[in-house]
């Protein structure tokens, strides 16, 4: 004969696990008691908006439109005059951001990351048109 399970009238008690429980993989506490933060995850650095043009370093000949700074690194979209660049997708800009240049300009659709020590000084009088700004927003990460 099969035994039937008898349901008790008392509700089951749930056991809360201690937040200082040790992780099985790395034997480090999951929560640092001093700061009350998780120690197994790196805290994400805050991304701050930026808006300027600069050359990333002396070796590069193409300026970048820098749109964000995260920690000590700048994120930007590279600008060029070439219609095609090997291995990169380009979009045509409506207006060249360099006021002294009348040639058509293109921007690379993938962003580049440059350390702040390698970034040159901001270029003066360079601006994005409103149409180019809305077009570039799609490619900013």
Q: Which residues constitute the domain of residue 96?
A: 47-137
83 domain residue, yes or no: yes
Summarize pLDDT for 66-84 with one digit per residue, the tens: 899 988 998 999 899 998 8
35 domain residue, yes or no: no
Q: How many domains does the chain have?
A: 1
* pTM: predicted TM-score of the whole model, two decimal places: 0.63
89 domain residue, yes or no: yes
18 domain residue, yes or no: no
pLDDT in tens, the chain (141 residues): 666 666 666 666 666 655 555 455 555 555 544 555 554 445 567 788 888 888 887 666 788 888 999 889 989 998 999 988 888 889 999 999 999 999 999 999 998 888 888 888 888 999 999 999 999 888 887
**134: three-class secondary structure by DSSP:** helix
CB-based contacts of 92, cutoff 8 Å, min separation 6: 104, 105, 106
82 domain residue, yes or no: yes
């Amino acid at each position: 004969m099969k035994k039937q399970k008898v349901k008790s009238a008392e509700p089951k008690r749930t056991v809360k696990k201690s937040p200082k429980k040790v992780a099985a993989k790395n034997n480090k506490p999951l929560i640092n008691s001093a700061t009350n933060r998780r120690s197994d995850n790196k805290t994400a650095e805050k991304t701050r908006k930026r808006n300027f043009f600069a050359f990333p370093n002396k070796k590069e000949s193409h300026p970048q439109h820098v749109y964000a700074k995260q920690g000590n690194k700048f994120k930007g979209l590279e600008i060029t005059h070439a219609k095609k660049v090997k291995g990169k997708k380009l979009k045509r800009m409506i207006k060249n951001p360099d006021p002294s240049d009348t040639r058509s300009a293109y921007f690379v659709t993938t962003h580049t990351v440059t350390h702040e020590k390698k970034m040159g000084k901001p270029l003066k009088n360079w601006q994005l048109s409103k149409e180019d700004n809305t077009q570039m927003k799609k490619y900013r990460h």
